[in-house]
Structure 1
Amino acid sequence: MLKQIPNIITSLNILCGCVAILFATSGDLITASFFVFLGIFFDFFDGLAARLLKAQSEIGLQLDSLADVITSGVAPGIIMYQMLNLSYFGHMQTLTETFSMDGWNVGFKNYMPLIGLLIVIASAYRLAKFNVDTRQTTGFIGLPTPANALFVLSLPLILQFQYSELAETIILNRWFLIGITLISCILLNAEISLFALKFKTWDFKSNAIRYVFLILCLVLLVLLKFLAIPFIIVLYIVLSMFNHKVH
């Protein structure tokens, strides 16, 4: 039974992702974001539990990737779709409304928010590559899907909890959202070496980059709250590139 604990935790990740999708399709992006955060929390601890219990398995690896497709791929893709709906039409809508007769009358513009679903495709492709790429045993090649999901989730959270006219002007700009979508798809599958937040030991020397990153993350979160999330993702990429160059 103990050997199944990691898979149970991964299953909770899948459940959170499914609930997030239901909330996102209904237009409640804040609750959807909360469940994605919770799913990512479970995603972090299923691997930790597997290592502590020495319960790593091929099934667990595949299940983990499937969970990430749902929680860190489909859910943020739908959230971006709804953000683009807000940008284009001033309100969120369902796919039924997108493909309604009224949608046909609006024309091609009505289908532009579907660009957000490119995140789903890019995330699935990134996870498929991860499963067969032997280079990604101690780090990552390309932005991990949970990191990309956090970036997307930060957009509605900033609007809700740290609203300003400037934030609304930038975040709800359709070209900004399309640009973020395309950049996300590129970064997910780019040949960029990124460090993993997995501690094999706790000494500072071998984990210096991780400790520095976590300390800076804490400072940014205290100072900027949800606005810190995009900066943290950018910081993660920059520190990873610096670390790769040094070593």
Structure 2
Amino acid sequence: MRKHIANCFTLLNLVFGCLAIIQILAGLPGLGLSFAAGGAAEADLVARMCVASLFICLAGVVDFLDGLIARLLGAASEMGKQLDSLADLVSFGVAPGLILYQFLLIAFSNGNLAAGASMNYWYLLPALLVPLAGAYRLARFNLGTHFSTEFEGLPIPAGGILIASFPLIFKNTDNQALQQLMHTSWFWYAVTLIVSFLMISTIAMMSLKFKNLSFIQNWPKFLLLILAIVLGISLHWLAVPLVFIVYILLSVIMLRKGTPL
């Protein structure tokens, strides 16, 4: 029974991932906006992706809770591990990959999605590298790694939530330079390649799980948490990519020095 409680949270992660995909592709009744012509169609698509991003963030919260609940109940199991990976692939691999796909469509259609119907869709398919890299990362994780307290490669939830932050940044920023950058296909290709490479790499990444509350043993995690709160209050969704960069730098610098994280 205890195992089923944790597994229900894992399945809820999968539900949120599926809802995000539906929202990106068509829109849920009452939440999606209908396509309009020209620039209005772009605004509708971005609005739908913003709702999908919130579903992905909810999946991230549930993904954290299912592991926590499994540990508290002593209900960790091989079944739960496999189920968690399948849910993560949908919520943090497929759904974010579709967000990148839609952003590439916006970039190549120059703001007119109706004109994008005649474009070469081979230009959009690199977005699929994210779910492919995520699947590889999860399969390798399930087979076991030679790292005991750190992750081998970027955890797929971290990459998925990074990508999920972009629609919310895109919709809420007034910075013209940032808006122009996010209308550029090369920016999305760079995001796709960086996230995919980090996931399939063997670079040691800091685990964000606290084994105890000792500040001395966990100061990099506390630093990251405090930074996330401060930047979140001041920069809102733009804080996510900045915290992501700090997380990568902290992981690389500290672990290369041999500091256990």
TM-score (norm 2): 0.86
Distance 1:92 1:186 in 2: 30
Q: Name the CA shift for 1:136/1:16 in 2 (closer, same or farther; >3 Å).
A: farther
The CA distance in 2 between the partners of 1:76 and 1:215, in whole Å, is 26
Cα deviation for residue 136 of structure 1 reads: 4.1
* 1:151-187 alpha-carbon deviations (Å, 9 max, x no partner): 2112111111123211111111111111111111111
For the 8 Å contact 2:152–2:203, the answer to whether it is kept is: yes
Provide closer, same or farther for how the CA distance between residues 116 and 20 of structure 1 changes in structure 2, counting only shifts above 3 A: same
1:175 corresponding residue in structure 2: 186
Aligned to 1:15: 15
Offset of 1:91 from its aligned partner? 4.9
Moved over 3 A (4+): none
Q: Cα deviation per residue 1:10-39 (whole Å; 9 max; x = unaligned)?
A: 000000000000001124101110100000
Query: Are residue 186 (structure 1) and residue 206 (structure 2) matched?
Result: no
Q: Do residues 84 (structure 1) and 104 (structure 2) align? A: yes
Aligned to 1:118: 129
CA distance in 2, matches of 1:136, 1:5: 28
Q: Tell me how far 1:92 sits from its aligned partner.
A: 5.4
Matched, 1:213 2:224: yes
Match of 1:241 in 2: 252
> How many Å separate the matches in 1 of 2:61 and 2:190?
28
- The 1:179–1:47 alpha-carbon spacing in structure 2 relative to 1, beyond 3 Å, is same
The count of corresponding residues between Structure 1 and Structure 2 is: 237
Q: Which runs of 5+ in 1 are unaligned?
A: none
Unmatched runs of 5 consecutive residues or more in structure 2: 27-44
Provide the C-alpha distance between the structure 2 equivalents of 1:85 and 1:127, rounded to a whole number of angstroms.
28
Alignment equivalent of 1:44, drawn from 34, 41, 64: 64
Q: CA, structure 1 residues 10+91, in 2 after alignment: closer, same or farther (shift >3 Å)?
A: farther
* Letter of the 1:11 counterpart: L
Separation in 1, partners of 2:54, 2:234: 21
Separation of aligned partners in 1, 2:221 and 2:214: 11
Give secondary structure in 2 for the equivalent of 1:125. Answer: helix
State, as a whole percentage, how many aligned pairs show the same letter: 40
